[in-house]
Amino acid sequence: MRLTIRELTLPVWRTLPWRGLAASAALGLLLAGALRWGGGDANGWPALTLLRAAVLAHALGLTFLLDDPARHTTATVPTRRALRTGLRIALVTPLTALWWTAVVLLVPSDVRPPVGDVTLEAAAACVLALLAGAVALRWTNEPRPGPSVAAAYLLTAVVTPHLLPAGWKLFVWPQDSNWHAAHERWAWLLAGAVVTLVACLPEPVRRMRIGRRSRTLSPSGV
């Protein structure tokens, strides 16, 4: 297993959708950098808006991370898909962390919103993007669901804030009395997304049924 991971790291690195990831990361940096040149007000909410827009841009890039044009060609190899998917995520995670650090540092410190809370939002948004890709892989036969997933993610990100009841608001401003409560919800959302993502990493759903279903069908345990 360890040998397989070591040997897999370089080819998996090369299968990552670098152009999309780089474009989304660059857009995020530009959005965050706009504040440094454009200025921000004392309340800091334009900074927060731009930070959230930067996170959304990068999250849209991450919806393509699990696209695998060779999905069908490599459908029946003994190395489990969870390992390959996990490796993809593991390779991108430190780069995303570096990117986020750069984004936060681009925002002038006097208008920078609470970094810990905003980082929590960013982490949840990124994990939700990965989760959307993983769900698409698990429930469809599509090797490259990225474009559809990105569109659905963008639509959800735009529509959801308007649909959530007042007591469930996620996107609040630092001066809002619900700021801490909202970030508790972000924390729960992140935890739920991580757990669901891990549950979605194994083989696509119909493939998983072979063991359970067949065991009940054959007296020999086939």
Query: Which among 126-134, 156-164, 179-187, 213-221 is the span making contact with another protein, rule CB under 8 A?
Result: 213-221
Dihedral angle over CA of 35, 38, 41, 47, nearest 10: -20
13 lines the binding site for another protein (CB under 8 A): no
Q: CA–CA separation, 208 vs 77, rounded Å?
A: 15
Binder of another protein out of 77, 116, 162, 163 (CB under 8 A):
77
Closest CA to 48 of 136, 101, 107: 107
Binder of another protein out of 42, 76, 110, 167 (CB under 8 A):
76
Q: Give me the 136-155 binding string for another protein, x by CB under 8 A, dash otherwise.
A: -------x------------
Shorter beta-carbon distance to another protein: residue 23 or 97: 23
211 lines the binding site for another protein (CB under 8 A): yes
Closest CA to 117 of 186, 168, 59: 186
Q: CA–CA separation, 61 vs 125, rounded Å?
A: 12
In the complex, least distance from residue 143 CB atom to another protein, rounded to whole angstroms: 5
11 lines the binding site for another protein (CB under 8 A): yes
Helix (H) or strand (E) holding 189: helix 179-200
Burial of 126 (0-12, 13-18, 19+ CB in 10 A): buried
Burial of 216 (0-12, 13-18, 19+ CB in 10 A): exposed
43 lines the binding site for another protein (CB under 8 A): no
DSSP class of 162: H
Shorter beta-carbon distance to another protein: residue 114 or 143: 143
Binder of another protein out of 39, 43, 72, 155 (CB under 8 A):
72
Query: Which among 6-14, 100-108, 117-125, 169-177 is the span making contact with another protein, rule CB under 8 A?
Result: 6-14
Structure tokens at 157: 């990100």
Q: How many residues bind another protein (CB under 8 A)?
A: 35
Helix (H) or strand (E) holding 24: helix 18-38
163 lines the binding site for another protein (CB under 8 A): no
- Residues at the interface with another protein (CB under 8 A): 3-4, 7-8, 11, 14-15, 68-79, 84, 143, 206-211, 213-215, 217-218, 220-222
